Structure 1
Amino acid sequence: MTEAEQETWMARNQRLLVAQLDRLHAVISGQAPAQDAVVPQQTRLAQVVSVFGLSGFERDLLLWCTGAELDERFTPPTFAAALSVLGGGHWDAMATSAPLRRWRLVEPGAGAGLISRPLRIDERILHHLVGVVCLDSRLDGVVRALPDIPGRLTPAQQVIAVDLASRLGSRPEKVVASIHGAGEQTRNRIASHAAAALDLTPLHIPADRIPPLGAENALLALLVEREAALLGALPVITAEPETAPRPVAAFVSELGCSVVLSGLPQLRADLTCAVPSPSIGEQRQLWEQLLGPAGELDGITAAFRLEVEQIEAIALDRPSDLHDACRRSSRGGIADLAQLIEPAAGWEEVVLPEFATEMLRDITAQVRHRTQVYESWGMAGSSGRGLGVTALFTGESGTGKTLAAEVLAGALDLDLYRIDLASVVSKYIGETEKNLKRVFDAADASGAVLLFDEADAIFGKRSEVRDSHDRYANLEVSYLLQRMETYRGLAILTTNLKNSLDRAFLRRLRFVVPFPFPDAQARARIWRLMFPPKTPTANLDWDRLARMQLSGGNIRTIALGAAFLAAAAGEPVGMGHVLTAARREYVKLEKPLTDAELGGGYA
């Protein structure tokens, strides 16, 4: 309806409302008989009468309350006065279960005795009758109308919206529909498309705004149902994964109208719709619609799984670095669940045997070309299992496992998130799986590299199942491996104790990369890497330093300590500074620094 049409309609509605007030005043003043009247259709009064099932007496009593607010000829009525003046009076009109009070259309004022108390019209109903479009003020901050023009959807999502509208519209009774999957905005768009197809207004209700069980919960349900009746609306309840379901379930049970649950698959529903995120082909098509053809789209669609609204927002900004913009947009909630590590290391810093380095390069190649192999070449088959790139890094602390993960993330231009499995594992049955699910769900859009540290905390030797805790411990491991196998990015486990892992679990990992303790040649190379060209040094003897039986992590700690000692002394880093820092590190390690490791002339 255009603004001109709206003004014309409002003027006609108000004119006809005034005519009804004139008719009622004539009845009350005795100038006309108390007989039933015909209310013109396409007026707000006729709509209220229809949707709430008012009798002629209830209609005129509501109209009398309206006149008391708008017309000086009227005073607030009492139920006794209405019974004596209006036609068709019936005693149950003021029952709490009757429409006038059930729907809070009128409220009795103060006073003794129900029939002698003045009646007032509800403010929201008064606004509605005169043609003002608004929501009940008691719903401020709880309910809002979604956009009248639904946003863009992919073809697959559009099919779901059409099906949802068809199934909602085909049933006259209350229908509880549940949509899950994709992102919140996408689900809202689907609900908006379905509502538009039914000529309804979608009302958005965040689940965390629904009060606990009790009177407030029931009142909110009543007000929302009333708004749905007045506006011709479809309530849409949107929830977060951690939303408590009981208040929402109570609210939905109180509602007498159809409702859409978004992101609450655990609640019972009459129909359920799983919403897919855009496929790689759909993402590329959308990018091309918004930005035109671009050569980097292959890499972007392979690396990131973005929702339609994210792609629209990025395209609107026209970023100079599209890949970086996609990476930042896809981070979502993963940053709250894991530690973001900014990759700073390159391949030249990886000090490993050649076969281990080649395995790392193979991992990079498989992540980079997975879309081509799985989709273009059809190697994925019909199952989604076993398609994730999974790796286990084994070796002592300080041998470079985290550094290697940094190198892989940097080479792939992806975020790296570290998850401490020891903090994820819970003593409560089922909680570990929930924690892992949150991590993988949050990371899925970004395609980030996930580094699960301390795999021993969850793996260990698979024990004989003697009680429920043994059984659930094995289920936790199986769940982690299952999610790793279906994760679209790279998932890495690290362990210091490979021998403690069950071989049945090892077989499900695509790569097992050993990180051996560095030999003397490797240690000499690590020492050189620890001092950048900008660091002033004096006569550092790499071969002598390499005699110390240390891992790369310990060598880095010593190098930093030596640098601070030299800076404090105002000198370049020399062998004395390094050996002083080394003695301190050996004390921390509770190891003796032998003469053979010190080398001649430095004892």
Structure 2
Amino acid sequence: MNNAPSWNQIYCRLALDEVRDALRARVDLQGDDAGARTAGPARTDRADVEASFGDPEVVPALERLCACFQLTPFERRLLLLCAGHAMDAEFATLCGQISGDPDRHTPTFDLALTLFNGGHWMPFHAHSTLRYWELIELDDPKPPNLSPLRINAPVLQYLTDYPCHDPNLDALLILAPDSGALVPSHDACAQEIRALLLEDQDGTPPPIVQLTGPEDDAKLAVCQHAVRPLGLSVSCIDTRVLPQEIQSLQTLYRRLERQAILAPCAYVFQADVHESERVAAERALRYLLQRLSCPCIVTGDLALHVPDRQVVKVEVKRPTDEEQRTVWTDALARHAPKPIADRDLHRLLDQFDMNETQIRTVCRNWRATSQAHGGSAETSATPFERLWRQCRTQSRTPVSGLARVLEPTPIEWDVLILPDREKRILHTIVEQVRHRRQVYREWGFAEQGAAGLGISALFAGTSGTGKTLAARIIGSALQLDVYHVDLSAIVSKYIGETEKNLEAIFRTAETSGAILLFDEADALFGKRTKVQESKDRWANMEISYLLQRMEAYTGLSILTTNLQSSMDEAFTRRLRFIVQFPFPQHQQRASIWQGVFPKQTPTGTLDYAKLARPEISGGVIRSIALNAAFHAARDGGVVEMQHLAQATREEFAKTEKTLLPQLVADWVETSTEVTQAEELM
């Protein structure tokens, strides 16, 4: 380990010698016994040291500091006096001898005026350079001329070649960790930012760079690769913790600016904030950006309007298909417990639009779960099924109460009783979702335009006919999450709020490939009205926004309606699929009854033809079957016709509908006869 002093440390020592000489001279002038004064280190010949260690092309830290803050000669000496007191015990002894009291051994403004010619009162003012930038600190600002002074720790660290660390910023600044290589498209963003920062600004601060786009994880890495070749570090600031009071913001600005001078850096303001926090974040951010002269980068979609500052937006997009393929290949080579087939890799690329961080995290987790799954339920899953599950979990994003996530569960197509034509349409939907990326991107259909690439469907039918069940079966077939959105709950009476809610849902689902199921579409998509009032115009805008967003969404979006006839034809023309869910007839109801009970459920002799008599939907049948199972569990554990009769009567009573007695009269004949025979015995 090399313990030799650096050139900055040597230069600082030489500058301190000049101040030490002034202190010694003052002690001698006051008539103190020269022998009583502590002998300091021998004076180093400045010319010899500079000839041995100095580099004429390197400006010492002390001189850089004086130039950056435009310190006067007096302010320079006062700063060195405080630095010497912190570094050399002789300074404290000499200060105590000059004051005549060993306990008053700290520097003061009054002492500096005594020592150095050319002193004036301006450095004592609160807005003077030394105090404004907190290069020195006063223990008691009243009175300032007699207050003990000390040099600020980061300033002393800067002068002596130690890493500058301001403890006042610890709670705010996060030093960005090192990042690996970028994919080519993100590296191009980094080069664009670097070029912007290197442009000659004619003495004005560089432009503010705002990073937009969906790639939140990659934005920080792009910032690092942009500024580190310029000799800058990256410090992150969460805008949500910025103060709101002007005085606190002013203090924060001074400390951030000073830190950027002492330890050259770029500040990255992470401004991905909730709507309720947006106004406060924009106000605090605007105050700082208008004043900071160092490179500043903002991530997020805040509306930045900074007076006298140029704001340049750079979009950080998702890695391209080819870049994702390259990352997958590298990550699988490093972490995969076993190789996967090319067709399986193609399926992953088709379904999940993931960034580099997500891909590498998935592969690491896949390896860990593959090593630990022995003896658990996971043993029944193939390695690729575990990898797929990791992809689905990693790409899933919280939906903030706007939607309910329905994870895929084993549901067979047989439980869905529909006409053959409608089932064929559902299978076609599954095929198009599976191969959409191949057709759109590899076969060139996406180049024809960004709109119209989404796969949209309308499920029309009365309540309980299987619309939600069909969406879940599609999710099971594709092994994808279904985001169940109740449109009646997110439609807002406030102008613009509905669009914000919808955008949040689409943005959340975009990367996960989730299926979007918009239930109760009648809440929004009734007959579009003529614009007679302002509310009509906004209602039509909400409909148009959803149509456009569904067309641009890269996954599958499904709308359900109970009344297709009430929907505008102009809307239905823009949907790719329309699936009718007719009310089940007697034969369909019998089929639903046959498949409604899980295999594990113990059932007696059930007459499905009799059960199918009441004209009820599949959803009502499932509700009756569930309630009957509970009755059977109470009576001994086998579902019989009498349990179903009881549950049917309860269901009709709940909905206040009339159940004709003859429909269920013979459901319990056999059971009643058996009971009567037992009583006679």
User: Which residue of structure 1 aligns with residue 36 of structure 2?
Assistant: none
> Structure 1 residue 152 and structure 2 residue 181: aligned?
yes
Aligned equivalents of 1:443 and 1:95: distance in 2? 57
1:516 deviates by 0.8
User: Which residue of structure 2 aligns with residue 315 of structure 1?
Assistant: 363
**Mapping of residues 430-445 of structure 1, within 5 Å:** 430-445=496-511
Aligned equivalents of 1:241 and 1:103: distance in 2? 30
User: Which residue of structure 2 aligns with residue 329 of structure 1?
Assistant: 394
Residue 303 of structure 1, aligned match among 351, 362, 376 = 351
1:537 aligned counterpart, secondary structure: coil
1:586 deviates by 0.5
Aligned equivalents of 2:362 and 2:260: distance in 1? 35
User: Which residue of structure 2 aligns with residue 166 of structure 1?
Assistant: 195
Kindly indicate whether the alpha-carbon contact (under 8 Å) linking 2:353 and 2:512 is maintained by their aligned counterparts in 1: yes
User: Which residue of structure 2 aligns with residue 108 of structure 1?
Assistant: 138
Kindly indicate whether the alpha-carbon contact (under 8 Å) linking 1:182 and 1:307 is maintained by their aligned counterparts in 2: no
> Structure 1 residue 339 and structure 2 residue 398: aligned?
no
**Mapping of residues 254-293 of structure 1, within 5 Å:** 254-268=291-305, 270-292=311-333
User: Which residue of structure 2 aligns with residue 501 of structure 1?
Assistant: 567
> Structure 1 residue 14 and structure 2 residue 9: aligned?
yes
> Structure 1 residue 68 and structure 2 residue 98: aligned?
no
Aligned equivalents of 1:588 and 1:235: distance in 2? 62
Change (3 A) 1:60 1:442: same
Aligned equivalents of 1:475 and 1:304: distance in 2? 31
User: Which residue of structure 2 aligns with residue 29 of structure 1?
Assistant: 24
Counterpart residue type for residue 394 of structure 2: S
CA shift digits 1:405-447 (9 cap, x unpaired) = 0111111111111111111111111111111111111111101
Change (3 A) 1:312 1:601: closer
1:491 aligned counterpart, secondary structure: strand
Kindly indicate whether the alpha-carbon contact (under 8 Å) linking 2:498 and 2:542 is maintained by their aligned counterparts in 1: yes
CA shift digits 1:525-544 (9 cap, x unpaired) = 11111112321111100011
Kindly indicate whether the alpha-carbon contact (under 8 Å) linking 1:218 and 1:254 is maintained by their aligned counterparts in 2: no
Kindly indicate whether the alpha-carbon contact (under 8 Å) linking 2:269 and 2:299 is maintained by their aligned counterparts in 1: yes
Aligned equivalents of 2:67 and 2:535: distance in 1? 60
Aligned equivalents of 2:215 and 2:651: distance in 1? 49
Aligned equivalents of 1:563 and 1:322: distance in 2? 37
CA shift digits 1:8-57 (9 cap, x unpaired) = 5x554334323322221102322899xxx999655432332232222222
> Structure 1 residue 58 and structure 2 residue 99: aligned?
no
CA shift digits 1:534-564 (9 cap, x unpaired) = 2111110001101111101110111011111
Aligned equivalents of 1:112 and 1:154: distance in 2? 58
What TM-score do you get using the length of structure 1 for normalisation? 0.93
Counterpart residue type for residue 48 of structure 1: L
Change (3 A) 1:581 1:223: same
Kindly indicate whether the alpha-carbon contact (under 8 Å) linking 1:179 and 1:265 is maintained by their aligned counterparts in 2: no
Kindly indicate whether the alpha-carbon contact (under 8 Å) linking 2:602 and 2:638 is maintained by their aligned counterparts in 1: yes
Aligned equivalents of 2:487 and 2:182: distance in 1? 37
Aligned equivalents of 2:291 and 2:393: distance in 1? 41
User: Which residue of structure 2 aligns with residue 594 of structure 1?
Assistant: 660
Kindly indicate whether the alpha-carbon contact (under 8 Å) linking 1:456 and 1:495 is maintained by their aligned counterparts in 2: yes
Larger Rg: 2
Kindly indicate whether the alpha-carbon contact (under 8 Å) linking 1:391 and 1:509 is maintained by their aligned counterparts in 2: yes
> Structure 1 residue 202 and structure 2 residue 243: aligned?
no
1:117 aligned counterpart, secondary structure: coil
1:211 aligned counterpart, secondary structure: coil
Aligned equivalents of 2:110 and 2:171: distance in 1? 39
1:87 deviates by 4.0
Kindly indicate whether the alpha-carbon contact (under 8 Å) linking 1:544 and 1:599 is maintained by their aligned counterparts in 2: no
Change (3 A) 1:109 1:595: closer
2:398 aligned counterpart, secondary structure: helix
**Mapping of residues 159-558 of structure 1, within 5 Å:** 159-170=188-199, 171=201, 172-174=203-205, 175-242=207-274, 243-244=277-278, 245-268=282-305, 270-292=311-333, 294=340, 295=342, 296-319=344-367, 320=383, 321-334=386-399, 336-344=401-409, 345-558=411-624
User: Which residue of structure 2 aligns with residue 582 of structure 1?
Assistant: 648
Aligned CA RMSD, in angstroms, stands at 2.3
Change (3 A) 1:29 1:411: same
Change (3 A) 1:182 1:507: same
1:223 aligned counterpart, secondary structure: helix
1:573 aligned counterpart, secondary structure: coil
Sequence identity of aligned pairs in percent? 39
Aligned residues, how many? 594
1:197 deviates by 2.2
Counterpart residue type for residue 203 of structure 1: S
CA shift digits 1:246-293 (9 cap, x unpaired) = 222223224232210011342135211011111222101111122247
Kindly indicate whether the alpha-carbon contact (under 8 Å) linking 1:201 and 1:234 is maintained by their aligned counterparts in 2: yes
Aligned equivalents of 1:514 and 1:542: distance in 2? 25
2:236 aligned counterpart, secondary structure: strand
Q: Which runs of 5+ in 2 are unaligned?
A: 30-45, 96-105, 334-338, 368-382, 670-681
1:173 deviates by 2.6
Change (3 A) 1:27 1:601: closer
Q: Which runs of 5+ in 1 are unaligned?
A: none
Kindly indicate whether the alpha-carbon contact (under 8 Å) linking 1:399 and 1:551 is maintained by their aligned counterparts in 2: yes
1:208 aligned counterpart, secondary structure: helix
Kindly indicate whether the alpha-carbon contact (under 8 Å) linking 2:265 and 2:294 is maintained by their aligned counterparts in 1: no
Relative to structure 2, which stretch is displaced further, 222-231 or 69-78? 69-78
